[in-house]
Amino acid sequence: MTIDQPLTLLGGLTPQAFMRDYWQRKPLLIRQAIPGFKPSLSISDIRQLVKREEVESRLIWHDAKGWNMKSGPFARLPSAKQANWTLLAQSVDLHDDATAGLVHQFRFISDARLDDAMISIATDGGGVGPHFDSYDVFLLQAHGQRRWRISQQADLTLEAGLPLKILKDFKAEEEFVLEPGDMLYLPPHAAHDGVAQGDCMTISIGFRAPTQAVLACGMLEAANDQIMANLGDTGGLYALPVIPGPALASTFKDPGTPATDSPAALPQTLIDATLKAVQKIKFDEALAERFLGQWLTEPPANAYFEPGDDDTDLSNGLPANGRLALDRCTRLMYRNRQLFINGEVACMPATTALRKLADTRALDGGDPLARKLKPEERQMLNEWLQEGWLHYIAR
């Protein structure tokens, strides 16, 4: 993808211009972002999908008593003829290649920020009510029409005691009816309310952003793992290359401590020793890299990899007429020479070929980089093929 070329997907803006002027800042309505868009899954496919245990879903409806919500899986759903309900299927990109492909059109934004594609189906009048989300979202109209009302209002007070987030005082500032292929980008905290006009399907390409608390706790956990690994207590970390860290093996010593007449009081010497020990931990880039690389590539609990057949063997090279493609659920990221895949630190450094595989999610046999793959790299790719993290496509 060229980030300085205008994209129809962004209404003729370049990814660079979109990121500079709209991302995290203001809404953007894009008419015919995907001209002639046809969803890969039909309304009845989504009704089938939410029967599956591994698919997270919610049914939302509004009646005389107010807002209602029920979580899936659903053996039975309201009739398609009944008005005013919405069914939301989360992370459909984990279950459908074409939906994963759609999400990949947004890879002018880092994989670190990409979350999932949620697909909603609704009958006439269906919606989830006026609310705001904490994350950026692209709302792509996939089937039928939806009337969106949006507002950049500062008052984001929610109604109390409801099963879902509903704004107390939503005051629409703009209103649009979206047709298939139209798309609305909303930054975090933009108030919105989308109501289906007849049968409707909307695909939300959502992004994630960690809180500082999540980042700090992740770093602390990585520091904990580092200390244990350096002590030789490999625990679950046996496969991980150890990041050299402080030697914290020496035991607390207190020769010359005076006798105490208050044995239940915490000794100051232990307070001092604790603070001194913790100051030895370096919260540096190597540690942040390790934490983020593993955490951001950790597949969601409902991601499923089909183990590959044993027939493909790259030991003699990647055939020129073949192609490697990452599985839709695989998360592969790199930083400097470190490569992370599906929550693990890869055993090979991030060479140019492996970075290309990560950035484009594929590697062509005809690519000169593919011919430069070393035997150890090919061995690693063989293992990924067997895990089902990677697929070989013959042409």
The residues of the shown chain that bind Co ion, judged by CB under 5 A, are 133
Q: Count CA atoms within 13 Å of residue 198 on its CB side.
A: 9
Q: Which residue's Cβ has the minimum distance to Co ion?
A: 133
Distance CA 117, CA 142 (A): 12
Three-class secondary structure of residue 155 per DSSP: coil
Nearest-approach distance from CB 10 to ligand SIN, in angstroms:
19
Between 130 and 322, name the residue whose CB sits nearer to ligand SIN.
130
Between 60 and 358, name the residue whose CB sits nearer to ligand SIN.
60
Q: Choose among Co ion, ligand SIN, none what residue 90 binds, the Cβ cut-off being 5 to 8 Å by kind.
A: none
Q: Choose among ligand SIN, Co ion, none what residue 72 binds, the Cβ cut-off being 5 to 8 Å by kind.
A: none
For residue 84, is it left (φ>0), alpha (ψ between -120 and 50) or beta?
left
Binding site for ligand SIN (CB under 6 A): 86, 120, 127-128, 133, 137, 192, 194, 202, 204
Tokens representing 240 are 């991980």
In single-letter form, the type of residue at position 373 comes to: L
Q: 66 has which bridge partners?
A: 63
Among all chains, which residue has been given the structure tokens 């703009």?
174
Nearest-approach distance from CB 132 to Co ion, in angstroms:
7
Between 86 and 312, name the residue whose CB sits nearer to ligand SIN.
86
Between 54 and 133, name the residue whose CB sits nearer to Co ion.
133
Between 55 and 128, name the residue whose CB sits nearer to ligand SIN.
128
Q: 334 has which bridge partners?
A: 339
Nearest-approach distance from CB 171 to Co ion, in angstroms:
17
Q: Which residue's Cβ has the minimum distance to ligand SIN?
A: 120
Residue (of 150, 164, 158) closest to 192 by Cα position: 150
Between 140 and 222, name the residue whose CB sits nearer to ligand SIN.
140
Distance CA 75, CA 387 (A): 32
Nearest-approach distance from CB 193 to Co ion, in angstroms:
9
Residue (of 294, 377, 390, 295) closest to 340 by Cα position: 294
Angle CA 334–338–339, to nearest 5 = 50
Q: Choose among Co ion, ligand SIN, none what residue 123 binds, the Cβ cut-off being 5 to 8 Å by kind.
A: none
Nearest-approach distance from CB 31 to ligand SIN, in angstroms:
18
Nearest-approach distance from CB 350 to ligand SIN, in angstroms:
35
In single-letter form, the type of residue at position 270 comes to: L
Between 188 and 241, name the residue whose CB sits nearer to ligand SIN.
188
Q: Choose among Co ion, ligand SIN, none what residue 194 binds, the Cβ cut-off being 5 to 8 Å by kind.
A: ligand SIN
Distance CA 194, CA 177 (A): 9
Nearest-approach distance from CB 113 to ligand SIN, in angstroms:
17
Integer distance in angstroms from the first to the last C-alpha of the chain?
A: 23
